[in-house]
Amino acid sequence: MRKFFSLLPLLLLLIFYSSVAFAHFGVLLPSRDVVESPSSAMLRLDLAFMHPFEYEFMDLARPEVFGVVTGGKKTDLTARLKPVDCQGHKAWRASFEVTRPGDHIFFMVPRPYWEPAENTFIQHYTKVVVGAFGLEDHWNRPIGLKTEIVPLTRPYGLWSGNLFCGTVLLAGKPRPGTRVEVEFYNRKKELHAPSPVFDTQTLVTSKDGSFCYAIPRAGWWGFAALTSLPGAMTRKGKRVDLELGAIIWVHASRVR
């Protein structure tokens, strides 16, 4: 019995860490965030569903919509999607050639994903902005997604240490008191957290729906504004919740 009680703190610690819920993120990453010349105009876009900091993938069903907004006009790119394998899970890839100046806002609307660990569906509306040929024209405008983060800071051409700010919209209206999760895309697993609580940084939007975060490191950073809709979906004849996520990815370059 004494041996059991001596091991109890360790057992409780193991239970705690095994129960930590890693943050889910829709991922939409271009091969570059700024296009400055025709030689760099061909983009590769990777679409996935994953835990970015842990660099662990889950299956992403073929998105319902994948497109780009340029000059205020939407273009459907869903037909360009090709399946790829990521750690044995389904992800997607597409190519796009930038041919005109201006902000290119790529977006993805996935099918709702059932997460049994949380007993909820998850649907993340994901976007990323690529600046092209020096014309900054639409990066701070909404594109009409059900939920989205509208940048208050230009979301490309950032340095590490820059303050990134945005406003969370739900059905076109600012969303105060919304939880925003922030994670580093830890592809090379170069960043090691001292404990799991560091993996996901957490913010709450102000009464006007806005937030700010100082980017501490070069690389891709994901911002996920989460809204729970109780009983919004049906599964096996029962009403279950839907987590709506407004996701935006931004890249910061290293200060040399």
23-253: CATH, from 3.40.50.150, 1.10.10.10, 2.60.40.10, 3.40.50.1360: 2.60.40.10
Q: Are 102 and 141 in contact (CB under 8 A)?
A: no
The model's confidence at residue 188, banded by pLDDT at 50, 70 and 90, is confident
The pLDDT, as a whole number, for residue 109 is: 96
- From residue 92, how far is each of 57, 88, 99, 121, 222 by CA, in Å? 12, 13, 23, 21, 18
- Does residue 103 carry a pLDDT above 70? yes
pLDDT digits (tens, 9 = 90+) for 222-245: 999 999 999 989 999 899 999 999
Q: Is the pLDDT of residue 211 over 80?
A: yes
Q: Is the pLDDT of residue 86 over 60?
A: yes
Q: Are strands 120-132 and 34-35 parallel, antiparallel or unpaired?
A: parallel
CA distance readout (Å), 35 to 100, 151, 156, 215, 221: 10, 19, 10, 22, 19
Dmax (CA) for the chain in angstroms is: 73
pLDDT exceeds 80 at position 33 = yes
With a cut of 80, say whether residue 10 has pLDDT above it: no
The pLDDT tens digits of the residues spanning 115-155 come to 998 899 999 999 999 999 999 999 999 999 999 999 999 99
Mean pLDDT of 192-205: 94
Domain ranges of the chain: 23-253
Share of the chain above pLDDT 70, in %: 91
